[in-house]
Amino acid sequence: MSLRAVKGMKDILPDEISNWHRLENAFRNRVEGYGFREVRFPIVEPTALFVRSIGETTDIVEKEMYTFTDRGDKSLTLRPEGTASAVRAYVQHSVQAREPVTKWYYIGPMYRRERPAKGRYRQFYQAGIEVFGDPGPYVDAEVIDMVVGFIASLGISEVEVLVNSIGGPETREKYRDALLGYLTPYRTELCPDCQRRMDANPLRVLDCKVPRCAEIAAGAPSILKHLTDDDRAHFDGLQETLTILGTPYRVDGSLVRGLDYYSRTLFEVLGKGEGLGAQNALLGGGRYDQMVKSLDGPDTPAIGFAMGLERLLMAMSEAVTESHVDVFIVAAQAGVRGQATLLGRELRDAGLRVESDLRGGSLKSQLRRADKIDARIAMILGESEVEEGVVQLKDLKNKTQEQVPRADAAARIHALLSD
């Protein structure tokens, strides 16, 4: 039996990578324009980090994490999401002592052993941002507006932005009593997971996808009616700022997230493209104002979001192909292969992407190879060209050919590429 990739994990081959580059570069350009800086953290973290931050009774911790005991008898976990690692790094390196507001972004793989579905994998890639130190609703609105603009820049036009507030600890405590009062008569009709959630965190019942649980949750009282004055003022400020920015949104009082660390602002962006299938969420995020303190850091407000890159790639308007070769060197005779190799190094030193096929072959077959890999220029080098110190440049896009001195070849190729 031949070896294959682990179920739910996939190879990303060169033919696909152009779209990944387009997406990642667009994300970097967008968030760096808002002052975010890239951070990279380990793929493996202490298991306790995710148990304490995400929540011991969440599906991620209970069912989906890849956890193992290392040779030092320590429990480690492949990171299932990025926010907990960002907070751990923020606390460990005492970042708050150096700057009042910290804005980070990350791109990388995450791991969850959930059931593979369209656009969902067990090794999947996320891009996200975190803002530490700003408690106001204005940064919440700016983050939402930023991500809506980013999605539009990808050609994804049909989206819906949902916002909600689940308040702070005082609101949550009041709402917990009201929600339990509503759910208790339905307890035996709920799935086993939701019956346990009622005792640990009844708010998570509202996020259950089991049809009967979702039907019951639809009739639950709205948390928006239980907001404290401060939480209400924060949510009003968010909506007012989104209106000023012209960012379309809809308040959804039933919106909750499947992680325990959220507070106050929650948001989700849903796609409407047919290619997304039944699960149409492109990204989600919100505030987690108590999380830094809960992980032994200072009392620091924070907000962030994460998005699955595979989901965005499915929703993007069109695929793009990107040539990875500027110049293909054609060695017309076997005796010039050494000079072709030297010429390739000279052109790469001049900043060009160069490929050649030094196995040999006819002139015609090598030109076909240049076409197949979508090279822009074919540089033909034969014995006479070597003797005369020239090369033949064949512009494969514009169907033109010219002879230039070898010493001028790199400059001329740069000129053709920029034309």
Query: Do residues 402 and 409 lie in contact, with contact meaning Cβ atoms separated by under 8 Å?
Result: no
How much is the mean pLDDT over the chain?
89
Q: How confident is the model at residue 128 (pLDDT cuts 50, 70, 90)?
A: very high
| Per CATH, domain 14-168+228-315 is 3.30.930.10 | yes
In the chain, CATH 3.40.50.800 covers 327-418
Query: Do residues 164 and 252 lie in contact, with contact meaning Cβ atoms separated by under 8 Å?
Result: yes
pTM: predicted TM-score of the whole model, two decimal places: 0.85
Average pLDDT over residues 95-105: 96
Nearest to 55 by CA among 30, 28, 83, 15: 83
In the chain, CATH 3.30.930.10 covers 14-168+228-315
pLDDT for 322: 62
Average pLDDT over residues 101-118: 90
Second-level CATH architecture of 327-418: 3-Layer(aba) Sandwich (3.40)
How far lies 364's CA from each of 107, 195, 298, 330, in Å?
43, 71, 68, 10
